Amino acid sequence: MKNMTDFPSQAPLLEVTGLETAFEIDGELYNAVDGVSFNVKPKQVLGVVGESGCGKSVMSLSIMQLLPKGIGKIRNGQITFNGQSLEKLDDKKMNKIRGKDIGMIFQEPMTSLNPVFTIGFQLAESLHNHFKLSKKEARGKVIELLDQVGISRPERVVDEYPHQLSGGMRQRVMIAMAIACKPKLLIADEPTTALDVTVQAQILELLQGLQETNDMAIILITHDLGVVAETCHEVLVMYAGEVVERADVVTLFENPKHPYTELLMRSIPRLDEEEEKLASIEGIVPSLKNMPRQGCKFVDRCPKAMEECRTITPRLSENLPGHEVRCLLYETSWNREGMSAK
């Protein structure tokens, strides 16, 4: 399914422009997502990669309008889904889209299901809300869904409680719930992180199958570069709330440009290669409060940092067609005179 066909002519299904999501800390607002723009075309699988704290989950919550009330809020930017501006919708209208047109799989299959309701009840809820199905119809549909996500003996599982299922099965239930209304877009936030590799393989296979049969676009948020390589068409690499690199999956893996992407790729041990020493990125992502206000946010951990990186804020610019990088090393427009000192 991972053919390298582009999606040039299609109008984007989801368009995010200049998204800024801030959290309030000690009375001040700090941007956790800082000016992120991207498109998702119908049937496209977009990967979002980055370390914890890079803002990838906050971004998905912003799209779903599920930010914790009173603490986090969207300061700037537009989120256009299917021609509708999501950030302007009130809760009632948003509820009609959430779960129906955009489905979401949450990270923790252990805690995202309600322990006191049966699987069937929890799955039927969205069907009931969006399609006004009767109880009996909904039950039939739920069994069908469970079967579709590969749960054996669905007619029994439908009456079971979450604790009676294994981790892999719970994640399947979460997927069934997300795809119940055949959404056009599925946001999967670390869908396989808590699972064993053999179960992960099952879930990825399942997602790919559903993407094809349901003509669904997927935003796959993960930190696992292996998963990205196997499933995505296009990849956003995020660091400290910003997109630092965007490219199609082959280009990104063959020719990573940003020093962060490059290090990330070389820091994972690989099965097919022998490496004496892994690359490592010194230090950690600066906290929201300590984020540099000027210059590149990666400067303190970057092995290729120059003097200018502290003062000139790099822009996300197209290095090659379809390949964007946020790094002064690849920017041509800034004053090059400073470079001669190097």
Partner 1 sequence: MNNIIDLKNKDKAASSHTKKETLLEVINLKTHYPIKGGFFRRTISHVKAVDNVSFSVKKGETLGLVGESGCGKSTAGRTILKLLNPTAGKIMFDGEDITNLRGSKLRQRRKDFQMVFQDPYASLNPMQMVGDIITEPIHNYYPKKKSREIKQEVLELLNRVGLPDDAYYKYAHEFSGGQRQRIGIARALALKPKLIIADEPVSALDVSVQSQVLNLLNELQDDFDLTYLFIAHDLSVVKHMSDRIGIMYLGHIVEIADKHSIYKEPLHPYTQALISAVPEPDPKRKKQRIVLQGDVPSPENPPSGCPFHTRCPMAVDKCSTITPELKEVKPGHHAACILVD
Binding site for partner 1 (CB under 8 A): 2, 51-52, 152, 166-169, 196-202, 204-205, 223-230, 249-250, 253-254, 263-265, 267-272, 275, 277-282, 284
Q: CB-wise, 156 or 270, nearer to partner 1?
A: 270
Nearest 5°: the CA angle 68, 17, 43 is: 90
Q: CB-wise, 255 or 294, nearer to partner 1?
A: 255
Query: How far apart are alpha carbons 14 and 276 in whole angstroms?
Result: 43
Nearest Cα neighbor of 48 from 80, 79, 16, 77 is: 16
Residue 62: C-alpha distances to residues 55, 165, 196, 206, 224 (Å)? 10, 31, 29, 26, 22
Q: CB-wise, 112 or 192, nearer to partner 1?
A: 192
Helix axes of 167-179 and 135-148: crossing angle, nearest 10 degrees? 120
In sequence order, what are the residues at sequence separation of 6 or more whose Cβ sits closer than 8 angstroms to the Cβ of residue 224?
192, 193
Nearest-approach distance from CB 308 to partner 1, in angstroms: 24
Q: CB-wise, 116 or 197, nearer to partner 1?
A: 197
Nearest-approach distance from CB 315 to partner 1, in angstroms: 24
Q: CB-wise, 126 or 200, nearer to partner 1?
A: 200
Nearest-approach distance from CB 305 to partner 1, in angstroms: 16
Q: CB-wise, 198 or 340, nearer to partner 1?
A: 198
Query: How far apart are alpha carbons 248 and 228 in whole angstroms?
Result: 11
For residue 44, which amino acid is it?
Q
Nearest-approach distance from CB 177 to partner 1, in angstroms: 20
Nearest-approach distance from CB 329 to partner 1, in angstroms: 20
Q: CB-wise, 90 or 282, nearer to partner 1?
A: 282
Query: How far apart are alpha carbons 200 and 181 in whole angstroms?
Result: 24
Nearest-approach distance from CB 76 to partner 1, in angstroms: 28
Burial zone of 133 (CB within 10 Å; 0-12 exposed, 13-18 middle, 19+ buried): middle
Nearest-approach distance from CB 83 to partner 1, in angstroms: 32
